[in-house]
Copies of this chain bind each other. A is one copy, B any other.
Amino acid sequence: MNRLKVNLPGLELRNPIMPASGCFGFGEEYAEFYDFSKLGAIMAKSATLNERVGNSLPRVAETPNGILNAIGLKNPGLEVILAEKYPFLAQFDVPIIANVAGSSEEEYVAVCSRIAEAPNVKAIELNISCPNVKEGGVAFGTDPEVAARLTRICKEVTNLPIYVKLSPNVTDIVAIAKAVEAAGADAISMINTFTGMAINVKSRKPVLGNITGGLSGPGIKPIALRMVYQVSRAVDIPIIGIGGVATVDDALEMIMAGATAVAVGTANFVDPYACPKIIDGLEPRMDELGIESIQALIDEVRENRFK
């Protein structure tokens, strides 16, 4: 029996661990470190219809046990991604979750409708929560109706399952989750980054060229966990837990909060082997904690969640 196996709509994963979007590019660079057939899945960098050159510099800053980024969805655009990026990943035995972003409904629809051209892409993650682009991005993720509408129209143009990636910068994340579930979302991935900033006290100016950026890393894990916990009690679709996961225990904590799978972002920068190390550490730790299988743990959490 594979004790680590979990299922997401459209995907069978050999384990619940995958790199988070934007923290792994399209894999080319990390492929020099390990074989991706080790991973549960890969969440690719956000794709937009046309190339995006990204925000002004600097784009990253360090904060206490966290980092701020304002990359600005830099990516080579759908054509190049379809022609080169997803195909590169096809050499590995691992399902790809394509991440789609846009600044208008039309752009999301245009990208979603073509993603299935890449046969190794098994699901779409709809990034409605990027805090680092002026138009669109997070705006789609802060209003339940807008988020639901976007989900619905994207569902219409693709047969791939759609996972909606939620923004934590909201008063009521449960309302957004319920709205996208009702609109047909097949799963939820959460969370994207918190809007934050850092100031250089010497120059008295913001560190980031974009002034604000998205906060990620272990410091935000408690908020991510709380949101996963709340949403998992309110929706029936599975959740990919994201936010500050750096260790085996962090990953298990996410699952205990209600996630079915776990994505690792910032930790890849700290240690390029972050994902395989967590994967290797799961079974020994499960033995210590008396966890038979990840699926059994998920079932146990689901059963207890209305108590």
A143 to chain B, nearest CB (A): 8
8 closest A-B pairs by CB: A219-B219, A196-B222, A64-B218, A65-B65, A197-B226, A63-B222, A196-B223, A170-B171
User: Is A184 part of the contact surface with B, judged by Cβ < 8 Å?
Assistant: no
Q: CB-CB < 8 A to A13: which residues of B?
A: none
Q: CB-CB < 8 A to A301: which residues of B?
A: 204
The count of identical subunits is 2
- Are A253 and B219 in contact, CB atoms less than 8 angstroms apart? no
- Are A257 and B199 in contact, CB atoms less than 8 angstroms apart? yes
In the complex, which of the residues B142, B169, B198, B221 contacts A222, with contact meaning CB atoms closer than 8 Å? B198
Q: CB-CB < 8 A to A270: which residues of B?
A: none
Within 8 A of B (CB), among A143-201: 169-171, 194-199, 201
What is the bound-complex CA distance between A222 and B60, given in angstroms? 13
Q: CB-CB < 8 A to A64: which residues of B?
A: 65, 218-219, 221, 244
In the complex, which of the residues B196, B225, B289 contacts A202, with contact meaning CB atoms closer than 8 Å? B289
Within 8 A of B (CB), among A214-250: 215, 218-223, 225-226, 229, 244, 249
- Are B68 and A201 in contact, CB atoms less than 8 angstroms apart? no
User: In the complex, how many residues of chain A place their beta carbon closer than 8 angstroms to a beta carbon of chain B?
Assistant: 39
Q: CB-CB < 8 A to A212: which residues of B?
A: 226, 229
User: Is A98 part of the contact surface with B, judged by Cβ < 8 Å?
Assistant: no
Q: CB-CB < 8 A to A220: which residues of B?
A: 219
In the complex, which of the residues B219, B253, B257 contacts A65, with contact meaning CB atoms closer than 8 Å? B219
What is the bound-complex CA distance between A257 and B206, given in angstroms? 9
Q: CB-CB < 8 A to A221: which residues of B?
A: 63-64
User: Is A25 part of the contact surface with B, judged by Cβ < 8 Å?
Assistant: no
What is the bound-complex CA distance between A244 and B220, given in angstroms? 13
In the complex, which of the residues B194, B201, B222, B256 contacts A249, with contact meaning CB atoms closer than 8 Å? B201
- Are A253 and B194 in contact, CB atoms less than 8 angstroms apart? no
Q: CB-CB < 8 A to A229: which residues of B?
A: 197, 211-212
A-B contact pairs, 30 of them (CB 8 A): A64-B65, A64-B218, A64-B244, A65-B218, A66-B219, A66-B222, A68-B222, A142-B171, A170-B170, A194-B222, A194-B223, A195-B223, A195-B226, A196-B222, A196-B225, A196-B226, A197-B225, A199-B253, A201-B252, A201-B253, A201-B289, A204-B256, A204-B301, A211-B229, A212-B226, A212-B229, A215-B222, A215-B223, A218-B219, A219-B220
What is the bound-complex CA distance between A294 and B113, given in angstroms? 56
A129 to chain B, nearest CB (A): 12
Q: Report the nearest B residue to A304, measured CB to CB.
A: B204
What is the bound-complex CA distance between A225 and B226, given in angstroms? 22
- Are A199 and B219 in contact, CB atoms less than 8 angstroms apart? no
What is the bound-complex CA distance between A202 and B249, given in angstroms? 10
